[in-house]
Amino acid sequence: MKQKIIIGNWKNYLSHKESISLANSLLGLDTSDKTRVMVSPNHLYLNEVNQILSTTDIEVISQNLTSAESKSDTGGITAVNLKNISINRSLVAHSETRIREKTPQSILLEIIPMGFPFVLCFEEIDQIPFDILNDNLEIILAYEPVWAIGTGETASIDHINEIHSGVKSKLSKLGLNIPVLYGGSVNPSNCKEILDSDNVDGVLVGGASTKYDQFQEIVNSI
């Protein structure tokens, strides 16, 4: 089985104390070659969590960015500043940021040329700007149907397979080898069926990733 990617998106669920405590618990996470684990804390705690996890295989990534280079962008997050604190990947266009920020196309056109890797979230296949994706950047795609996010309602495996195979067939026609994750109410009870699918290269987990035991079960379900 190919290595699966597991991303924990902590959103803004956790306080400073809780984020640090979860990061310290993750020091004990038993990972194997079968998984590649990433977590995405609130921006305010990104640096501290990254430092705590620096001795592990867990990658700490940003939940969003608003610009590539330094510029007048009050309240924004730039790729350059993320790199300054050794954060080398960001979620882009999560549905919760899509409603208030730049189009995915415009931010991707800025960060792809600078070589900043990202996890691009989409709900409809036509939201994926296939023409500007490439294989040089370790891009990750994540199918996240909005109705499944934070609702406890997971997409059925048939639905996930249908969307993922559509995206994968488009990618393969373009000669691109980009992993496609699923996100939306993934939890310890449904993760195995989802991760067992050959069409699914991993999962993007929100709520359940903020509870160590649940996240551990998901990581160890493979």
Instruction: State how far the Cα of 101 lies from the Cα of 64, in Å rounded to an integer.
Output: 10
Rank residues 117 and 150 by Cβ distance to ligand PGA and give the closer one.
150
Whether 94 is a known active-site residue: answer yes
Distances (CA, A) of 197 to 181, 209, 216: 11, 21, 20
Q: How far is the CB of 113 from ligand PGA (least distance, A)?
A: 27
Residue nearest to ligand PGA (CB): 206
Single-letter code of the amino acid located at 71: K
Active site residue 164: no
Query: Which long-range contacts does 23-26 make (Cβ < 8 Å, 24+ apart)?
Result: 23/48, 23/49, 23/52, 23/53, 24/52, 25/212, 26/53, 26/56, 26/58, 26/212, 26/215
One character per residue 9-48, x = contact with ligand PGA (rule: CB under 6 A): x---------------------------------------
- Footprint (CB under 6 A) of ligand PGA, residues 183-222: 183-186, 204-208
Q: How far apart are CA 54 and CA 31, in angstroms?
A: 15
Round to whole Å and give the CA distance between 107 and 103: 7
x/- binding map, residues 119-158, to ligand PGA, per CB under 6 A? Answer: -------------------------x----xx--------
Return d(Cα 80, Cα 87) in angstroms, integer: 9
Active-site entry in 94, 96, 123, 164: 94
Q: How far is the CB of 69 from ligand PGA (least distance, A)?
A: 27
Catalytic residues, by residue number, are 94, 144
Would you tell me which residues interact with ligand PGA (CB under 6 A)?
9, 144, 149-150, 183-186, 204-208
